[in-house]
Chain A
Amino acid sequence: MKAKHDTSKNGRRKGEPARARSDKWILRLYVAGQTPKAVTALNNLRLICEEQLHGKYHIKVIDLLENPQLARDNQILAVPTLVRQLPLPVRNIIGDLSNTERVLVGLDLKEQGARKIKGKVQGSKSEG
């Protein structure tokens, strides 16, 4: 379930405050087993990241069934939960990430992201 993409392009642009804060995005996706929602969420997340943060993001998928203690440590209730560890501040998005606009708002990527990839990712099945 792990996917790692090194940053290959440093595409800083004006009007992108979140991206500007960090070169490296660390995202964690908390799931509880390989449920359809978990799979959907991961796929959606990958698509969004590829579109928006190509090459400079890192997704870690954490299965709470394997590490239940982590749910307590990170105050996870709802699954799937996407946590943006970096850049700060920490942001949480819950759900299967099927509403791209909400994801972009949540990740603070909304301004340019909403126009570009709106409606593309829903129901995507590919997995890395």
Chain B
Amino acid sequence: MKKREAQSHRHVLPKSPTSIQGLDEITGGGLPKGRPTLVCGGAGCGKTLFAMEFLVRGATQYDEPGVFISFEETEEELTANVASLGFDLDSLVERKKIWLEHIHVERNEIEQSGEYDLEGLFIRIHHAIESIGAKRVVLDTIESLFSELPSPQILRAELRRLFHWLKKKGVTTIITAERGEGTLTREGLEEYVSDCVILLDHRVNDQSSIRRLRIVKYRGSMHGTNEYPFLIDNDGFSVLPVTSLGLNHASSHERISSGIPRLDTMLSGKGYFRGSTILVSGTAGTGKTSIAAQFVEAACKRQERVLFSTFEESQSQLIRNMRSIGIDLEPWVKKGLLQFHATRPTNYGLETHLTTSVKLINTFKPHVVVLDPINAFVLGENQTEVKTMLLRLVDFLKMKKITAFFTSLNSAGDAMEMTDVYFSSLIDTWLLLRDIEIGGERNRGLYVLKSRGMAHSNQIREFKLTNHGIELLDVYVGPGGVLTGSARLSQEARDNAEQLLRQQDIGRKRFGLERKREIMEAQIVAMRSGFEAEELEALKVIGIEKARNERFIQDKVRMGKSRRSDVDAKPTGTSKKKTNVHRSVP
């Protein structure tokens, strides 16, 4: 995009904006101003409409009146045909913004004699241009002249002269032409109109039609070279969506709840990122739509607008079904916060789905868009196209900071991660629902396969649809693997019984211990009292001994006195006497 802008600054090729949605982006501003552009394609590919929209938009939006020279349809037919697109040609003609002119030649009324030229056509175009001051001219299938007028050589020369003349007049011209076999146009007009050639294509793949536009050449200008899908609907022509040519959308840090508290917890406690792309995939009946509905309800409760595109159920059926799990969406529909868009994927081609979605989004301006399910589009081998379409849609939603919620149905036999690998790169948060079959029943498990930019749980949760919404439960992870449902319940009961037993055991052990302690303590008491008795006894013995000893000394003294062993000694102290005694002994 930037490159292209830079280019156009360097080399100023004036362009005539078409205002056809998306086309000005890929042409870098429109068709070459003042030059002829060839629009070619097979029958029914939208050439006339393309040209008419170019004129009408020029007349209404850029004040560039336009002349429509039709070689196939009459003025009345043209007016009627484009009225369905909301173009009021009658009023535009009246206000001299558009000049319609039907040029009709009946081959069998015409005889040729000698040389002729197309000066009459020149005069008519000139007159038309001058009458309204036209800046844009459309020649709708001028090639049909080849079947109406004799002498192709003269015609060729005259057409060449006409295109030169138009170029010299400086009017921006669209020349439409039918696609030939192996050539862009039947009569080789591309040789004369070489400034810009746009090819429209309408093909049918697997019974659904796909319209594509390609800029074959654009002299003097950069342009997108891809085939771009386009659509013709109530609002005219749109090449869609080429809004994002780069990955430069700003990302939000805001987090929004999934509507399931436990799931928010799994997503680091806060839920999804606003503007992210969420995919819920799983086999049939795993509850994808329910998760979507829960999210929708949460969004509506936040007063956000939600667009719910469903490709499997009708609005009323979906509302009824969701009511059975306690999610009532109807009040939100009535409040205008929730809009359903229920279509069969086979109704239209991919591009139509894409563009109608984009249009709805542009008018309804939702905060959340739900597509349920995305792989309803996958028919046969068109996965690449579906991916491209989703990529465009995701880009578009990201630009608008709209949270996208997709569901994807997996076929039971496939490895789940494999089926969605096509979409994986587009997805920011991917929830996987799977059936867990144990013990003769089927239960739902949910886990977060990936979630960009947040720490998320790696656990499998059992996923239950209750009459008050979705509940997530811990699964039983034990030696026997992951258990859910009644298997989990019975396992839990078994576990509880075991635990009770263990608790009883512990109680018993604790009781025994208590007993032992009591015994021990009793023993201690007994021992202590024994000891005390012993001690008392011992002390008594010690006292007796002491007394005996004292008496023995007293007795000795008395005995000494009585013997008069130390006559001179005065009876003042025993020690002197003792010394004397000791002395006297040896």
Contacts and interface: CB of A to CB of B under 8 A. Distances in A.
B115 A68 contact: no
A75 B105 contact: yes
Given A75-B104, A75-B105, A32 B120 contact: yes
A98 B124 contact: no
Contacts of A77: 103, 105, 118, 120-121, 124, 145, 149
A94 B105 CA distance: 12
A81 to B, nearest CB: 7
Interface stretch (A15-23, A51-59, A99-107): A99-107
Given A77-B105, A105-B111, A94 B123 contact: no
A102 B112 CA distance: 7
B103 A106 contact: no
A72 B117 contact: no
Interface in A41-56: 41, 44
A98 B115 CA distance: 8
B110 A97 contact: no
A98 B301 CA distance: 85
A60 interface: no
A35 B116 CA distance: 11
Interface string A69-95: 101100111111100000000111111
A81 B113 CA distance: 10
A37 B117 contact: yes
B109 interface: yes
Contact of B110 (A30, A71, A94): A94
Given A68-B127, A69-B127, A77-B149, A99 B120 contact: no
A68 B104 CA distance: 16
B126 A94 contact: no
B73 interface: no
B119 interface: yes
Interface residues of B, number: 25
Contact of B123 (A65, A80, A97): A65
Nearest to A108: B111
Given A71-B124, A77-B121, A77-B149, A96 B116 contact: yes
B112 A94 contact: yes
A127 to B, nearest CB: 17
A68 B110 contact: no
- Max count, chain B CB within 10 A of own CB: residue among A40, A77, A91: A77
Interface in B461-484: none
Interface string B399-436: 00000000000000000000000000000000000000
Contacts of B101: 72
- Max count, chain A CB within 10 A of own CB: residue among B104, B111, B112: B111
Interface in B122-170: 122-124, 126-127, 145, 149-150
Contact of A64 (B109, B123, B145): B123
B114 interface: yes
A95 B123 contact: no
Contact of B113 (A32, A75, A76, A96): A96
Contacts of A98: 113-115
Contact of A95 (B114, B119, B120, B145): B114
Contacts of A33: 119
Nearest to B127: A68
A111 to B, nearest CB: 15
A78 B111 contact: no
B120 A76 contact: yes
B113 A78 contact: no
A95 B120 CA distance: 12
A42 B149 CA distance: 21
A95 B103 contact: no
B123 A96 contact: no
Contacts of B118: 77-79
Nearest to A33: B119
B110 A92 contact: yes
Nearest to A80: B116
Contacts of A93: 110-113
- Max count, chain B CB within 10 A of own CB: residue among A40, A79, A102, A105: A79
Interface in B451-509: none
Contacts of B123: 32, 64-65, 68, 71
B113 A97 contact: yes
Contacts of B104: 75
Q: Please give me the 6 A-B residue pairs with the lowest Cβ-Cβ distance, nearest first.
A: A106-B111, A98-B114, A68-B127, A95-B114, A102-B113, A32-B119
22 contacts: A32-B119, A32-B120, A32-B123, A64-B119, A65-B123, A68-B127, A71-B124, A72-B101, A72-B127, A78-B116, A80-B116, A92-B109, A93-B111, A93-B113, A96-B114, A96-B115, A98-B114, A98-B115, A102-B113, A102-B114, A105-B111, A106-B111
Given A72-B124, A90-B109, 5 more contacts: A65-B123, A78-B149, A80-B116, A93-B110, A96-B114
